Amino acid sequence: MTPPDQNRSARNTSGSGRPLIPAQRGQLVFDTVHEIEEQARRRQPTWQAPIPRDFAYGCVLAFDQTTSNTGTAVITHLPGAGLRIAYTETVRPAETALTSHEGSYAKAAQIRRGVRQVLARTQPHLGSEPHYVFERPSVTGHRTDSALLAGLVVYEETDGRAVLVSNRHAKRVLVGPVPKGTTITKRQVKEAVGRYFPEPPPSSSWNEHVRDAIMLGLVHLFDLKQRETAE
């Protein structure tokens, strides 16, 4: 057996047998960590866009909600029929002279009326076991109160059945990973959603709010399928 002192000496010497100075030992550690990170990166599976069979069957009413614009969409995925967009609408409150919190409350009240109308209009498309989803409000960023207020409306009007879906998670599933420090663009979301619906609705109802709602609905079906597969 090699004495412990000799093991310690071997770890602190170069290939030529000369002792390593502190800077060299630091470089050796850095190179080792870098190699481990590279191996982990190479082991990660290559991202591939989900295909229709990766989504669970069902009917989803999805909301991309704010107090300024709330995009809504019904997505259906039925056996033999594939993925379809059954309904789209954007709820936009009228301008109000009120400002500050009072203005936000007035807009939220209008969003509530619009959401109720959407729920009534979409019932024929949703079947007996509909899914409701809405965007998880961000805790940082611009006007986080807007998404939170509108989200409360959706949650209450669906009797608490609406499920939160993270926008970031949805983009990661449908668009894929992007370089660190970059942001997924609206164009990338449009292309990702269009992959599943080559014949989108009329341009008058095909806006970023509706597309974001569709993205959330699709990813909800994707997550359901993942759970089904894991069980």
Residues 148 and 224 occupy one common structural domain: yes
Residues 116 and 185 occupy one common structural domain: yes
Token pair recorded at residue 50: 């989900």
Ramachandran class of 103: left when φ > 0, alpha when ψ lies in -120 to 50, beta otherwise: alpha
The tens digit of pLDDT for each residue in 98-115 reads: 678 888 899 999 999 999
Answer for the pair 213, 72: CB distance below 8 angstroms, yes or no. Answer: yes
Q: Evaluate if residue 117 carries a pLDDT over 90.
A: yes
Question: How many structural domains does the chain have?
Answer: 2
Least confident of 53-57, 84-88, 200-204: 200-204
The CATH number that applies at residue 121 is 3.30.420.10
pLDDT of residue 211: 97
Q: Evaluate if residue 171 carries a pLDDT over 80.
A: yes
pLDDT of residue 36: 64
Q: What sign results for the dihedral spanned by CA atoms 227, 65, 111, 140? A: positive
Residues 16 and 88 occupy one common structural domain: no
Q: Which domain holds residue 64?
A: 56-230
Residues 173 and 85 occupy one common structural domain: yes
For residue 188, tell me if it sits in a domain: yes
Which letter does DSSP use for residue 184 in this model? -
Which amino acid is residue 4, in one-letter code? P
Task: Give the pLDDT band of residue 155 (cuts 50, 70, 90).
Answer: very high
% of the chain exceeding 70 in pLDDT: 78
Contacts of 215 by beta carbon, 8 Å cutoff, 6+ apart:
170, 171, 174, 189, 192, 193
The tens digit of pLDDT for each residue in 3-23 reads: 555 555 555 555 556 665 665
The tens digit of pLDDT for each residue in 20-59 reads: 566 555 565 556 666 765 665 565 568 899 999 999 999 9
For residue 169, tell me if it sits in a domain: yes
| Distance, CA of 197 to CA of 52 (rounded, Å) | 11
Per-chain mean pLDDT for the chain: 86
Residues 177 and 214 occupy one common structural domain: yes
Helix locations, 127-199, DSSP H:
144-157, 167-174, 186-194
Instruction: Give the residues across from 19 on adjacent strands.
Output: 13
pLDDT of residue 179: 84
Ramachandran class of 73: left when φ > 0, alpha when ψ lies in -120 to 50, beta otherwise: beta
Gyration radius of the chain's alpha carbons: 26
pTM: predicted TM-score of the whole model, two decimal places: 0.79
pLDDT of residue 5: 54
| Distance, CA of 117 to CA of 56 (rounded, Å) | 27
